[in-house]
Chain A
C-alpha cells in the first residue's frame, strides 16, 4: 500500500471537471485507488464517489493505492492535484 496527502489548491475545489480528471487518471492504473477525506473513503475510479467527497479549496485528501503500480498511481494524482491544479490556471 502506498499513500500520500494532497492539498486542493484550485479555487472551486473538486467539482465536475476535476472529478472526471481524477477518475480518468485513476482508471488508467491497475491498482485499487481510493481517496479519503475526514474518515470517508471512496473509490477514486468512481465519478460519483469523488464528487460526493465535495472537496473544497484548502481541504486535504489522502490518496491511497494498492497494487502493482500503486506508487505511480498516487504520484500521477498528486501531480494532477497539486502541480497541474487541474489545468485551471
Chain B
C-alpha cells in the first residue's frame, strides 16, 4: 500500500527520507537464528561477540565522556562488568558444552532465566536494572549475527524504527550515518530524543503502531517538524517532501546565520529568548542557537538517572558548569519537579498523582533533598547569574517556606565563608490557576514568574493530555489559558516583577503575536527552535501584536484562535508555509 500515514510527536526539526530498518531485538533473537555449529566454534563465536561488545562499550564510554554525559558513562561501567560476570560466563559455557545450545540460544536462555530472577526482586529500582542487562544481551546477539550478515547498527542514509531507543545506540547509529528515528514511545524530553536532535537526526516519537506497520526496506519519510511519518510514499508525495526538506533546510540555515541578532520587533520592543535544557550534552546549544542564557534548567534528569540521590557536590558541579556556559547571561534553575514515586522508586500510591504530592509539595516534605539542592544552587550563584524557580506552586505560604530555608542556608554559607549571590532571584512557576488569580499577592514574595503552559493548560481545562479520549480538548492556545497568562503579566508588571514563558507554546510560531502582545519579558524554548522564533519576532511589531491579541480575545475556542493566527501569520510570513502545513491526507 502506498502513502500509509502515521502521526507522532515531532521531535527534531528536520526531515529525512530513506529506507527503513526495523530495529527490533525480538526479531534478531528469534526469526533469523543462526545455524548451530560445533561446540568449539560456538564457544569461539561467543568469545568474539563478547570481546567486540566490550570494545564497543569502551569506545562508547569515551564518546560519552567527551559529550560530558557522566551518567550514561557510569551505566556503561555496569554493562562492562556484566560482560565479565562469572554467572554469565559459566552459564553460557555450560549451555553450549553440556546442553549443546548454540551461542545465541545460550545467551537468550540465560537472559530469560535472569529476567525471572530480577522480576522477583522487591526493590523496583534494582529490578529495573534488568534493562541495562538486556541492553548488553541485545548487543551480544547483534554481534553474533554481524559475524555472518555483516550488518551494523544501521547504515548510511537509513531510518531506524523501534519501540524505543537508548541513548548509547543512538550515538552509534549516528556514526553509522543513520538519518532518522521513529519510535513508538518517548517524548520530546526523552534522553535519546535530545541526543538525536543534538546529532542532527530527524525523529518522530510516540507514534503508536509503527513497528507493526513498517517493514525493513520500506521507504519512509520522517518529518520531525510536523510529526508525520509516510510509509512507501508515491512519487508525488515523495517529491513534495523532498521540496519541503530542501526549503526548510535553506530557511533554517538563513535563520541560523542571524541567530545572534537580538529579538527586537520593528518598533523596538525587545524580549529575551533563552533555552530550555536538561542534559550536559545540550550545553553547547546555548551559543550554537543564539540563546540568551538558560530560561529553564530542568533538574529531574540528575535525580532520575543517577544511581543515588545526587549529593550537593555532584549537583553543584553541574549547576556551575551550566552557569559558566551561560555567563554573562542567566541560568534559571528549577528545583526538583517530581512526584514522590519517581524519587524513591517505591510506589507512593495516589488516587490523583497530578493533583498530588509533586514539585514544591514534595520537596518541602523532604527537606534534606531540598536543602542539598538549594545549597548547590546558591553555591553556583557566586558569579551572580543564577536564579531559582519553584515548580507546582499553588499557595503564597509555600514561597515563604522556601525563602525561610534559603535564608538559613545563606547564614550557613556565610559562616562557612562560601561565596554566593546574596540577591539571588526567586521565581514561581505559573502552572496552577491559583497563581495568576492571586498574582498580586504572589508579587509581594517572588522576584519573577515563569509560565509553564503545559501544566497551566492541564489544570485550567482539567484535561490530562495523556488520556486519548479527551486529549483533543488540550490546547495551550485555549482562550482561558491566554486570559490567565495575560492576567499574570498585568498583575506582575503592575508590581514591577517580570514574567517569562517556558512551556511548549514559546516554540509555537503562530503563538508569537499573543505572547508579544501581552508584553512578556522572556521566552524560553527548546534550543533548536530559537533562531526561527527570533527571526519571526524581528518581522513583527508590538503594535500589530497587541491588535492581534485583541482579536484573539474575541475568539471562543482554541480552534478559532489557531485558525485566525495561522492565517494572519502566513499573510506576513509566506515562508512559514513549510513549517506550518502538514501533509495533506491522500
Residues of A within 8 A of B (CB): 10-20, 23-24, 27, 43, 45-49, 51-52, 54, 56, 86, 88-89
B78 touches A48 (CB 8 A): no
In the docked arrangement, what's the CA distance between A19 and B126, Å? 10
B77 touches A52 (CB 8 A): no
Helix, strand, loop or mixed for chain B's interface?
helix
A12 touches B307 (CB 8 A): yes
Cβ-closest chain A residue relative to B125: A15
- For the complex formed, measure the closest distance between the CB of A43 and the CB atoms of chain B, giving whole angstroms: 6
For the complex with contacts A16-B132, A43-B87, 7 further pairs of A-B residues with Cβ separation under 8 Å are: A14-B126, A16-B75, A16-B129, A23-B81, A48-B82, A54-B127, A88-B308
B121 touches A52 (CB 8 A): yes
B117 touches A46 (CB 8 A): no
Is the CB of B438 closer than 8 A to any CB of chain A?
A: no
Residues of B within 8 A of A (CB): 74-75, 77-78, 81-82, 84-88, 114, 117-118, 121-123, 125-127, 129, 132-133, 306-309, 311
B308 touches A10 (CB 8 A): yes
Q: Shortest 9 CB-CB distances between A and B: which pairs?
A: A17-B307, A47-B81, A54-B123, A12-B308, A46-B87, A54-B121, A16-B307, A54-B126, A48-B87
Determine the chain A residues whose CB is within 8 A of the CB of B308 once the complex forms: 10-12, 15, 17, 86, 88
Determine the chain A residues whose CB is within 8 A of the CB of B86 once the complex forms: 43, 45-46
A13 touches B123 (CB 8 A): yes
In the docked arrangement, what's the CA distance between A85 and B133, Å? 25
Cβ-closest chain A residue relative to B308: A12
Jot down 27 A-B pairs with beta carbons below 8 A, ordered by A: A11-B309, A12-B307, A12-B309, A13-B126, A14-B126, A15-B129, A15-B307, A15-B308, A16-B74, A16-B126, A16-B132, A20-B78, A23-B81, A43-B86, A47-B78, A48-B87, A48-B88, A48-B114, A48-B133, A49-B87, A51-B126, A52-B121, A52-B126, A54-B121, A54-B123, A54-B126, A89-B311
Cβ-closest chain A residue relative to B127: A54
- For the complex formed, measure the closest distance between the CB of A5 and the CB atoms of chain B, giving whole angstroms: 21
Cβ-closest chain A residue relative to B310: A88
A46 touches B129 (CB 8 A): no
**Number of A-B pairs, beta carbon distance below 8 Å:** 69
Q: Please tell me which one of the listed residues B81, B117, B118, B309 contacts residue A20 in the complex, with CB atoms under 8 A apart.
A: B81
B126 touches A15 (CB 8 A): yes
Determine the chain A residues whose CB is within 8 A of the CB of B309 once the complex forms: 11-12
Cβ-closest chain B residue relative to A42: B87
- For the complex formed, measure the closest distance between the CB of A53 and the CB atoms of chain B, giving whole angstroms: 9
Determine the chain A residues whose CB is within 8 A of the CB of B87 once the complex forms: 43, 46, 48-49
Q: Please tell me which one of the listed residues A15, A20, A48, A86 contacts residue B77 in the complex, with CB atoms under 8 A apart.
A: A20
In the docked arrangement, what's the CA distance between A13 and B88, Å? 24
Determine the chain B residues whose CB is within 8 A of the CB of A11 once the complex forms: 308-309
In the docked arrangement, what's the CA distance between A13 and B309, Å? 11
Cβ-closest chain A residue relative to B86: A46
Determine the chain A residues whose CB is within 8 A of the CB of B121 once the complex forms: 52, 54
Cβ-closest chain B residue relative to A89: B311
- For the complex formed, measure the closest distance between the CB of B419 and the CB atoms of chain A, giving whole angstroms: 23
- For the complex formed, measure the closest distance between the CB of A33 and the CB atoms of chain B, giving whole angstroms: 11
- For the complex formed, measure the closest distance between the CB of A89 and the CB atoms of chain B, giving whole angstroms: 6
Q: Please tell me which one of the listed residues B74, B75, B118, B125 contacts residue A52 in the complex, with CB atoms under 8 A apart.
A: B118
